[in-house]
Amino acid sequence: MNAFPDVSKIRYEGPQSENPLAFRWYNPDELVEGKSMKDHLRFTVCYWHTFRGTGSDPFGGGTMLRPWDDGSESVANACNRARVAFEFFEKLDVPYYAFHDRDIAPEGKTLAESNANLDAVVAVLKEEQQRSGVKLLWGTANMFSNPRFMHGAATTCNVEVYAYAAAQVKKALEVTKELGGENYVFWGGREGYQNLFNTDMKREMDHLARFFHMAVDYAKEIGFKGQFLIEPKPKEPTKHQYDSDAAACLNFLRAYDLMDYFKLNIETNHATLAGHTMMHELEYAGMQGGLGSIDANTGDLMLGWDTDQFPTDYYLTTQIMLVLLKYGLAPGGVNFDAKVRRESFEPLDLFYAHIGGMDAFAKGLKVAAAIRADRALDKFVDDRYSSWNSDLGRKIESGAVNFKDLESYIMPKGDSAKNASGRQELIEHVLNRYLDKVK
């Protein structure tokens, strides 16, 4: 393959480099907290945006120039595209990729035909993985594009569509296993509702839980050891998605006895659509042992939908890396669920976009590690909660006292409790100081 003749393998040249086809921060073998950047970040290219994105939007058709793609829905075109994708992964020096079943192979007229198409392309992917050493971070099934899924897949009102979805996930699990996928993702594409007048929410959620239990059972049966992940998102395409945010997902998993089998794949643009920061979603999942992987992208403050832009903001990546360093990421990874904008239509733009995203995360990793090395934020947190290290704090935390005890303790003291400053602005300065410091 030589689909990108103007690009050779992207290398680290350091922060001073002005070469747009070089890394300034991502230095794969550089150790941070005793581990290589490559192992911390586990960068992943997503197949759907990068190799199937056309640049179309509600106002116009595709713009992308992809000279290797003949535009047909043939298996031969899909196999050729797969080989081009691996040339891209290798030149970009990413260790992982991720896909939906329908991104890699065309959907046939019947499920049997779709499965056969999938097998043909999977054989090529397997060969390319072995040749290049690039691995599969996760697989998933697209159960939202085909019109049959208009009412949902695992939460559909139509039992035959449900059966179809189950069969599709069965096959997706098989190919993910075949390719050594380290995780399997469920993003609930159309699992939600437009209004409650025609929706039996309880019944739909029971069905969804059944679906997940069947997936867990089948994974056991075929010996698939990857981590199951749910990807929260609050809206789009449905008005209300059941997996609306980390809290909703974890509550669902707990209610239906699925906590042992699932973690979350947290995406920046989905967090912000839910009215949360990415850091909030990561911390909320992490503190409950539910942080699995991330979809790295960013939204646009001026636009209200999932624009899936490449992340470039050091402030954002620093926040993310602070949480990922705390809880760990493997077997998850940093998956660029991000697309070049429709005006960036040349193949070269795919490189610029990913390089920018990878550098932003590598810099965020270094800044977060520097903050952690000095315990620069921990000090604020420790101070802020220091009153809880008293005898009284310990008694409350261990459950040794009740309301009456607390009343007897505080009543004679009057209004003596003294608060200390939260130091919000100072903390923001400190963050900027570390951003300046890492050179």
> Among 24, 40, 233, 363, which residue interacts with ligand XLS (rule: CB under 6 A)?
233
256-295 positions binding Ni ion, by CB under 5 A: 267, 295
433 vs 367: CA distance, rounded Å: 10
Compare residues 27 and 155 and give the one whose CB is closer to ligand XLS. Answer: 155
- The answer to whether 103 contacts ligand XLS (rule: CB under 6 A) is no
Least distance between ligand XLS and beta carbon 391 (Å): 49
Q: Which residue is nearest to ligand XLS (CB)?
A: 187
Compare residues 50 and 140 and give the one whose CB is closer to ligand XLS. Answer: 140
Decide: residue 391, CB within 10 A, 0-12 exposed, 13-18 middle, 19+ buried: exposed
DSSP 282-337: HHHHHTTT-EEEEE--B--TT--S---BPP--HHHHHHHHHHHHHH--TT--EEE-
- The answer to whether 191 contacts ligand XLS (rule: CB under 6 A) is no
258 vs 255: CA distance, rounded Å: 8
382 vs 239: CA distance, rounded Å: 41
The closest alpha carbon to 227, from 249, 266, 260, 252, belongs to 260
Least distance between ligand XLS and beta carbon 101 (Å): 10
213 given a catalytic annotation = no
What is the per-residue binding string for Ni ion in 346-385, x denoting contact by CB under 5 A?
A: ----------------------------------------
- The answer to whether 93 contacts Ni ion (rule: CB under 5 A) is no
What are the CA-CA distances from residue 344 to residues 41, 50, 271, 339, 348 (Å)? Answer: 26, 12, 26, 10, 9
Contact yes or no for 220/269 (Cβ under 8 A): no
Question: What is the Cα gyration radius of the chain?
Answer: 24
Binding piece for Ni ion, criterion CB under 5 A, among 110-118, 281-289, 329-337, 412-420: 329-337
Marked catalytic residue, from 40, 49, 93, 100: 100
Determine the Cα angle at 222 with ends 217 and 228, to 5°: 55
Contact yes or no for 293/265 (Cβ under 8 A): yes
- The answer to whether 128 contacts Ni ion (rule: CB under 5 A) is no
Least distance between ligand XLS and beta carbon 69 (Å): 20
- The answer to whether 176 contacts ligand XLS (rule: CB under 6 A) is no
Contact yes or no for 144/243 (Cβ under 8 A): no
Determine the Cα angle at 39 with ends 35 and 45, to 5°: 155
Q: How far apart are the first and last CA of the chain?
A: 37
**94: Cβ contacts below 8 Å, ≥ 6 apart:** 43, 44, 45, 134, 354, 358
Contact yes or no for 292/332 (Cβ under 8 A): yes
What is the per-residue binding string for ligand XLS in 301-340, x denoting contact by CB under 6 A?
A: -----x------------------------------x---
- The answer to whether 93 contacts ligand XLS (rule: CB under 6 A) is no
- The answer to whether 243 contacts ligand XLS (rule: CB under 6 A) is no
Which option in ligand XLS, Ni ion, none does residue 140 bind, with CB closer than 5 to 8 A by kind? ligand XLS
355-394 positions binding ligand XLS, by CB under 6 A: none
Least distance between ligand XLS and beta carbon 270 (Å): 7
> Among 267, 281, 283, 359, which residue interacts with ligand XLS (rule: CB under 6 A)?
267
280 given a catalytic annotation = no
- The answer to whether 306 contacts Ni ion (rule: CB under 5 A) is yes
Compare residues 86 and 184 and give the one whose CB is closer to ligand XLS. Answer: 184
| DSSP H helix total and E strand total for the chain | 16, 14
Marked catalytic residue, from 40, 49, 101, 103: 103
DSSP 208-256: HHHHHHHHHHHHHHHT--PEEEEE--SSSSSSEESS-SHHHHHHHHHHT
391 vs 341: CA distance, rounded Å: 57
- The answer to whether 51 contacts ligand XLS (rule: CB under 6 A) is no
> Among 115, 140, 168, 317, which residue interacts with ligand XLS (rule: CB under 6 A)?
140
Which option in ligand XLS, Ni ion, none does residue 283 bind, with CB closer than 5 to 8 A by kind? none
Compare residues 114 and 268 and give the one whose CB is closer to Ni ion. Answer: 268
Residues that bind Ni ion (CB under 5 A): 267, 295, 306, 337
**Residues forming the active site:** 100, 103
Judged by the rule CB under 6 A, the positions of this chain that interact with ligand XLS are: 100, 140, 185, 187, 231, 233, 267, 295, 306, 337
